[in-house]
Amino acid sequence: MSVLEVKDLLISFNQYTSGLKQQQLNVISNLTITLEKGEILAVVGASGSGKSLLAHAILGILPSNANVSGTLRYDGEVLTPAKQASLRGSEIALIPQSVNYLDPLMRVGNQVRTSARVENPVTAQRKVFERLHLHENVEKMYPFQLSGGMARRTLLSTAIVSGAKVIIADEPTPGLDPVVIKEAMESFRELADSGCAVMLITHDIVSALSIADKIAVFYAGTTVEIAPVENFAGDGEALRHPYSKALWRALPQNDFIPIPGAQPHPGDLPPGCLFAPRCPLATPECDRGQPEMRTLRDGMVRCIHAT
């Protein structure tokens, strides 16, 4: 059974334009995604496509000018703001994207211990630090004394010791060296194998491929494809959506050739398919409304031309 279910999620922000005039910016639309027990779902896609917002919506920590509609369910129950407040940190843990989330006035060892809800917090913290190659004296340091990579590993540690059932990792690995990335990825796999559901938001498609079960590709605030990991191989011919293919081919180990253009701004979305203005397959039909997500070859895709 799905432990976490997101259905038709829509997030918009009220923004002041000039004076007292406000406008609504739709930053996430029609987003549907499920997390299963024991499974790792990697979320990849364009920068600014709403990946972090999804994470924050699940935890109920969006800023106050955000409007959320659609349904979020945890273990079959609807997630209300009160429910979210009681679950976050205990049942649902977030590894935030920014290292600014560490408490600047607390030694990092203590920060990790406060989130440990299992066994002896001190041993749990030391064990996880050793695993992630953090030296013993790091636990006595304050965040400003850490390098970027050390701060990231501290954030990772808090989630690993939390004993949460759902872990949402928002870009946990940038700035880490390959050895530590491997350890981090293996810890995620172990958490999943012990029954956790893990959502891994990342740009590091290659690392994600080594541990994830499924990959969701985001573009301009919605999912364009959900594919099993095996599809990310070769020239990307097994992928369904033209954006996923372009993303795969732009990797340095593949062609490293980018498609031109940029993701549309939320205030200025195209009328139909959000990718149509950059799509090599686009036809006039594509402008007639956003395509629905449909099942195709063991995955899902939001494109009328995909085969």
- Positions in the binding site for other proteins (CB under 8 A): 44-48, 146-150, 152, 171, 174-181, 203-206, 246-248, 250-253, 256-263
Minimum Å distance from CB 112 to other proteins?
Answer: 17
Least distance in Å: CB of 234 to other proteins?
16
Cα separation, 105 vs 102, whole angstroms: 9
Closer Cβ to other proteins, 141 or 296, answer by number: 141
Report the nearest approach of other proteins to the CB of residue 179 (Å).
7
264 touches 220 (CB < 8 A):
yes
Please identify, using beta-carbon distances, which residue of 47 and 295 lies nearer to other proteins.
Answer: 47
Minimum gap (Å) between residue 110 Cβ and other proteins: 20
DSSP helix/strand/coil, 125 = helix
Nearer to other proteins, 31 or 72 (CB): 31
Residue closer to other proteins by CB (options 180, 196) is 180
Residue partners of 251: CB distance under 8 A and separation at least 6: 205, 206
Q: Closest separation between CB of residue 256 and other proteins, Å?
A: 5
Going by the DSSP 8-state scheme, the letter that residue 243 receives in this structure is H
CA–CA gap between residue 162 and residue 89 (Å, rounded)? 7
Residues 6+ apart with CB under 8 A from 229: 42, 208, 209, 212, 213, 214, 215
CB 117 within 8 A of CB 163: yes
Q: For 60, left (φ over 0), alpha (ψ -120 to 50), or beta?
A: left
| Of residues 9 and 181, the one with the C-beta less far from other proteins | 181
Q: How far is the CB of 155 from other proteins (least distance, A)?
A: 13
For residue 254, what are the contacts with CB-CB under 8 A and spacing of at least 6? 235, 236, 248
Q: Give me the least distance between CB of 207 and other proteins, in Å please.
A: 10
Give whichever of 19 and 256 is closer to other proteins, judged by the CB atom. Answer: 256
Cβ distance to other proteins smaller for residue 138 or 164 = 138
